[in-house]
Structure 1
Amino acid sequence: MKTLYIDASLPFRWGPHPPVGIPRVETALIRQALRWKASPVGFFIVDKWGQGQRLDEAELRYLRRLVNGDLPQPIGDEGSSYLARLWKVLSIMREAPFACGREFDRVAAGFLSGCEKRRGVKFQLSKTAIRLFKIVKSALRPSRLDTGDPLQDENALCFLSSASVHELAARKPMAKARCGIFTLMHDLIPIDFPQYVGPHHARGFVRNTAWQLENARLLVCVSKYTADRVKCHAKASGLRLMPQVAVASPGAFLREGVADRGMSTERRKRERKFVLYCSTIEIRKNHILLLKVWHRLLPLLGERLPTLTLCGRWGWMYEELTAFMAEHPELNDHVQFRSNLSDRELAELYRDAEFSVYPSAVEGWGLGAAECLDFGLPVLISDAPSLTEATQGLMPTLPANDVEAWCAAVTRACTDPVWLAELRHTIATRYRPIREREFFATMVGHVAAIDAVAEANPAAEIASDDLAPRIYGPHPVVAGQARQPSVLAADVFRRA
């Protein structure tokens, strides 16, 4: 009997603060796995030596609270003293069963120091204090009982998080995994577009991808675009045996999460209208184009030009952005940067914005664009193929680097309320949200189909496209959406 195991390493390392991007997708997957009743699911982490450890009951209780957003987070508390904030951060870290990762350190240090751009002496000192506390806590933590390693279980099917793929690819443990492995492939951007990431990150990504191609039985991609890129890269790598490749589009999940907390869906009239772009602030996301557009339109539209709200954490290679703002101080009253928001605060921005913009140069999926449609918010997107998938072909598409085209589209959105109303109506009548449970069920269907084929004929090598009749039901599909797993696939998995 095969048992499905889900790796919870990423949310544990991310820690209790609002997930974004890849962590939001993998957190949603774990949340639904915890609620899954169709078949037994186990949970584990991968430690720093590359070994799996099943979670005990106390760790599972903490995980449920973590992925449901029920734990204190290092956000908010405006006006509180440094010592009060430090006590909150240390209390959060003390309660965690495992050490949080470096992103939590950076978020917590930004919370302590008030430095959104994660720079400066105060930020560095705060980050050092947090990491010293982690070292002391790790040294004082009692030895953990051996709960077993699912990676060495021949009768296990293990989902590996992106964090654990990185750990295993870097550590290369002596004991090779004996279970069946499947992973999520979010993109191949550092391989296809290395100019958008730092050299160190690109080298690590190449190594991690090579490990997945060599060790995974199944690669589940978040978009058809990503799946096509993965297949091309796999073929170019000259592997003797390629893993199967499938697609499970993740939707957005933010609105579904805040709806459980009873947030009002009625738009609130704000003092000033605003346009929203929610993404990490880094070179690939193409914020500089928006600054150029707002700079051109400000003297033309005046007060009719809404505030541009850039919502997200500061990433890397954003020097051109800050230099443009310094050269054009007149933009300071018309461009707003927001970081470290709670899920509820972010959801309120989506709910109340006039429209959204998403000019990213390239994406693996386009979570922020999908989130817009989840809230009924029109969004102008770039011509990155996956953004068309994420918005199901419903939103206006513009060349990523065509400033004139973006100026024209933003002008129309600012001055033509009928057009915006039509876009909202299109979303309301044609957009089909992908819910968390549907996303997880689709992944389960892919795993079930591949495992059923392997069990029936272990020597068989089948192409990914051959799996489609086994995995997908007969209903029609809108472009870019995840397909529901058929009843057959679910039954196969329950029997496996």
Structure 2
Amino acid sequence: MTVEHSDASAATEGGLVVNPPTLAIDATGLMFWPPGKGLAGIPRVESFLVNAALVDPDPAVQVVAFRPWEGRFRPLAPYELDHVAAGEISPHRVKPWPGKRAALSQAFEAVRQQPWDRPETDSHLAKTVTNGGKGTTYQATRLLIRAYRLYQRARIRSGLRQDAPSQAPETEPGLVLISHHILTQEDRSAVSGAAGKLAFLCHDIIPALRPDLLGSSTSERRFGSYLEQLVRSGAPAFCASDEVGATLTEHMRKAGIAAPAVYRFPMPSILHETASRMGKTSRIEAGEPFVLYCSTIEVRKNHILLARIWQQALEDGVKLPRLVCAGRWGWMIEPLRAYLKAHPELLQSVTFTGLVSDEQLIQYYRSATFGVFPSHIEGWGYGASECLDFGVPVIVSTTPSLIEASGGLMPAIDSEDQQGWYAAIRKMADDHAWRSSLVERIAQNHRPTPASASWAAIKAGLKSASRRL
């Protein structure tokens, strides 16, 4: 896709021509992640989207968050911009904090306009007044706003206030690309249709296809119905892989729902771009050879297969490189923990790092002997494509999205085939000529995808979709 010029109609405000925002990126999900913490998977992609929009000088682009107490999306407050921004922000998008007195006056006016809003609103307004502050100042401000709300309600009930409060009109985004959080949050109003026109980033539909691999939390059970409701409403889907787009279309066909418009975009090589800015993309020698698996540790990612293989190697007297599993501990991992407890000697050759920083992860990619990605099912498989970005050969499972993410260039083995994986890992470790041929294959056929190319495709897709809705 190519970037198109905005066709938003201009409006006049104070003698200036202003193009009202027509496209918006939802930052709601990022607000739940502590600032400065390492991001992986879906949060990493959403951070890329939000920050691409913040840098974009196009006035037709906006960054928003969902306000459940209003049932709609609103522009970010200054403290929220500080929370999600990873770099520069386009000047016209910067909203300086007006100061405590002005912010408190604005908060009181918001309460007067909407006196029946829920307590969550008071917390948000208090953060706005204190610019994201915490502690006693924030708590005192929240109680003050709450007291003013109760006062306004009492005036209405007693008949002392006759006017009908109404929300001051604001420009609404024409189309919002919602965060993954919206698909799993408790407030259904976000996908009810009242929140405006929506598009969604379809990372995968694993919760609907393989709920056995994700547990039975309320959010996962809700995913399928929310997804179907979005598609019924006409929301277009943005997919990083052809496989996910085809799977989504087939899933809706089986559910008797018309297929959504699907826009394909290239997955950005975010970590490699970070490494390029740091001047750290070249290979470095590790203290000892090691195999890298970068992924959240959860049942779907199939770490237990690797644990069994490394245990088999110990029993066979085979020396494999150390296995480094980089990623936070997730869910449904009791069998893996039990296996590790039953085989404590494994921890001499297998390392679980926990969540690591981008800088540390870059170091791992630059020095890994090769990578592995035996996941049962994926929407993309960032760890596989990141291996290729850094010129590291990787063995993947035969799940179609992983083959797509690795460009069909790397050896692929069924995720249940332990002996096949064992043989391939031994060959990759011992056969230097084969490993070198895979490195050469990557060099000849793979190029990291610039974040700017991904953003251009997504933005063009959003503009095209907004004209169709």
TM-score normalised over the length of structure 2: 0.75
Q: Is the 8 A contact 1:11 1:66 kept in 2?
A: no
Decide whether the 8 Å contact of 1:307 with 1:336 is kept in 2. Answer: yes
CA distance 1:371–1:135, change in 2 (3 Å): farther
Partner of 2:106: none
Q: Is the 8 A contact 1:28 1:67 kept in 2?
A: no
2:296 to 276, 280, 283: 280
The residue type paired with residue 368 of structure 2 is A
Q: Deviations over 1:195-224 (max 9, x none)?
A: 101112431212321232233531112211
Matched residues in 2 for 1:234 and 1:178: separation? 23
In 1: Cα distance, 2:132 partner to 2:383 partner:
30
How far apart in 2 are the matches of 1:437 and 1:166? 29
Which amino acid in structure 1 is aligned with residue 198 of structure 2?
A: I
The CA deviation at 1:419 is 1.1
Tell me, in whole angstroms, the C-alpha distance in 2 between the residues paired with 1:175 and 1:307: 50
| Displacement after TM superposition at 1:391 (Å) | 0.7
Aligned partner of 1:41 among 47, 61, 68: 61
For 1:372, what is the secondary structure of its paired residue?
A: helix
Tell me, yes or no, if structure 1 residue 30 matches structure 2 residue 58.
Answer: no
Give, in angstroms, the shift of residue 18 of structure 1: 1.1
Choose which of 217, 231, 244 in structure 1 pairs with 2:261.
244
Match of 1:162 among 168, 180, 195: 180
Match of 1:4 among 20, 23, 28: 23
**Cα deviations by residue, 1:37-62 (Å, 9 ceiling, x for unpaired):** 45631111112333222124554355
Distance 1:52 1:284, change over 3 A: same
Q: Distance in 2 between matches of 1:429 and 1:58?
A: 45
Share of identical aligned residues, percent?
A: 33
User: Larger Cα Rg: Structure 1 or Structure 2?
Assistant: 2
Decide whether aligned partners of structure 1 residues 360 and 62 sit closer, same or farther in structure 2, where only a CA change above 3 A counts.
closer
Q: How does 1:341-352 map to 2 (within 5 A)?
A: 341-352=356-367
Equivalent of 2:209, from 192, 195, 198?
A: 192
- Distance in 2 between the 1:411 and 1:174 partners? 49
1:435 aligns with 2:450: yes
* 2:286 partner amino acid: R
SS at match of 1:199: coil
Alignment of 1:170-185 (within 5 A): 170-172=187-189, 176-177=193-194, 179-185=196-202
Distance 1:237 1:57, change over 3 A: same
Q: Tell me the CA shift for residue 270 of structure 1.
A: 2.8
Unaligned residue ranges in structure 1 (runs of 5+): 69-93, 100-129, 455-496
8 Å CA contact retained: 1:53, 1:147: no
The answer for the alignment partner of 2:273 in structure 1 is 256
Distance 1:160 1:349, change over 3 A: same
CA contact (8 A) 1:12 1:98 kept: no
Alignment deviations for residues 348-389 of structure 1 (CA, whole Å, 9 cap, x no partner): 111111000000000011111111111111100000000011
Matches within 5 A, 1:53-68: 53-57=74-78, 59-65=80-86
Which position in structure 1 is the counterpart of 2:116? none
Q: Distance in 2 between matches of 1:341 and 1:97?
A: 29
- Partners of 2:33 and 2:275 in 1: CA distance: 20
In the alignment, the residues of structure 1 paired with residue 291 and residue 443 of structure 2 have an alpha-carbon distance, to the nearest angstrom, of 20
- Equivalent residues in 2 for 1:298-377, closer than 5 Å: 298-300=314-316, 302=318, 304-377=319-392
Check 1:178–1:297 CA distance in 2 against 1; reply closer, same or farther (3 A cut).
Answer: closer
CA separation of 1:134 and 1:14: change in aligned 2, threshold 3 A? farther
Residue of 250, 253, 259 corresponding to 1:232: 250
Q: CA deviation at 1:138?
A: 8.7
Structure 2: which 5+ runs fail to align? 1-7, 9-20, 90-126, 150-166
For 1:205, the equivalent position in structure 2 comes to 223
2:310 is aligned to 294
CA, structure 1 residues 67+22, in 2 after alignment: closer, same or farther (shift >3 Å)?
farther
Change (3 A) 1:97 1:389: farther
Q: Which amino acid aligns with 2:200?
A: T
Q: Alpha carbons of 1:15 and 1:412: their partners in 2 closer, same or farther (altered >3 Å)?
A: same
Deviations 1:381-435 (A, max 9, x none): 0000000111111111111111111111011111111111111111111113222
Amino acid at match of 1:419: W
CA distance, structure 2, for counterparts of residue 148 and residue 298 of structure 1: 68
What amino acid is the match of 1:3? Answer: T
Aligned length: 390
CA contact (8 A) 1:382 1:399 kept: yes
The root-mean-square deviation of aligned C-alpha atoms, in Å, is 3.1
CA–CA separation in structure 2 for the residues paired with 1:23 and 1:134:
31
Q: Distance in 1 between matches of 2:64 and 2:232?
A: 22
TM-score normalized with structure 1 length: 0.71
Q: From the superposition, tell whether residues 175 and 405 of structure 1 become closer, same or farther in structure 2 (CA, over 3 Å).
A: closer
**Which residue in 2 is equivalent to 1:88?**
none
In the TM superposition, residue 244 of structure 1 has moved relative to its aligned partner by 1.3
